[in-house]
A and B are shown apart, each in its own frame.
Chain A
Amino acid sequence: MTDFTPYSAILGGSLIGLSALLLLIGIGRIAGISGIVSRLWQNPGPDLSWRLYFIVGLIIGPIIAALFGVKTPQIPPGSPYMLIIAGFLVGFGTVYGSGCTSGHGVCGLSRLSRRSIVATLVFILTAMITVALFRG
């Protein structure tokens, strides 16, 4: 059971949007985490550095937040097998489907990309069905 937290949700969401704004207006890039992570090893040219720096920042961010009293990330203990299967599907699916919650769900939706609208609807509905099946 978790509480409904609309204010911190809007604040945190706006910061995620601000990050996307900075990347787009600053260096012309999309803040899609799966794309950034999966291309870290792809082209060791000038493109490598911004992705690496972004990922380092992404890891530092929650540590800084924790210093200011924001709740630390919590990964509830689960079956290792389920987490391995889930991790594989998340990695495979986001690369094969060209995006995740940030790339399709935030950047693509706000750009009104048809592909992103379809992808977001499909992965949210699939995830809802999955949760319902596992609960039952």
Chain B
Amino acid sequence: MFSKKSFLALFAGIIFGIGLSISQMTNPQKVKNFLDIGGQWDASLIFVMGGALIVSGFAWYLAKKRDKPILTKQFYLPDNQSIDRKLIIGAIAFGIGWGVSGLCPGPAIASIGFLSSELAYFLVAMLIGMAVGKKIKG
């Protein structure tokens, strides 16, 4: 069934994908060059983050003024506040994989329409990694 909720999610996904494309975050070399401060540094990613943070900061401001979202009964937000080992270990593992490949989950999924064998290797391994992470996390 194609509900308003589904349409909104589809539309939000399309906007996200276009945003990744326009900002060239779907080019892993551009991401790597941001991470390569000592080399051919490309600071573009900071501006991507900046643009995204300003608009999503505005989203939190709007959310605070509302009891509930427009199409659902409640906000579904993480309430965990603790800085634990899982958070740190996970972030380190992700950071290594991100640094090696220049790919994080968003751009990797968004590039599926232009699938190459290299991307397919990455994606399958990523899904397996997610399943393992879930299992260990419990």
Contacts and interface: CB of A to CB of B under 8 A. Distances in A.
21 contacts: A2-B24, A8-B44, A9-B48, A15-B23, A16-B52, A17-B59, A22-B12, A26-B12, A30-B77, A33-B106, A78-B118, A80-B117, A90-B94, A90-B104, A95-B134, A97-B90, A111-B60, A118-B91, A122-B92, A132-B36, A135-B38
Interface residues of B, number: 120
How would you classify the secondary structure of chain B's contact residues: helix, strand, loop or mixed? helix
Contact of B133 (A16, A21, A95): A95
Query: Which 7 A/B pairs are nearest by Cβ-Cβ distance?
Result: A61-B17, A97-B90, A57-B13, A12-B23, A91-B129, A17-B55, A126-B95
A23 to B, nearest CB: 5
A106 B52 contact: yes
How would you classify the secondary structure of chain A's contact residues: helix, strand, loop or mixed? helix
Interface in B94-136: 94-101, 103-114, 116-119, 121-134, 136
B123 to A, nearest CB: 7
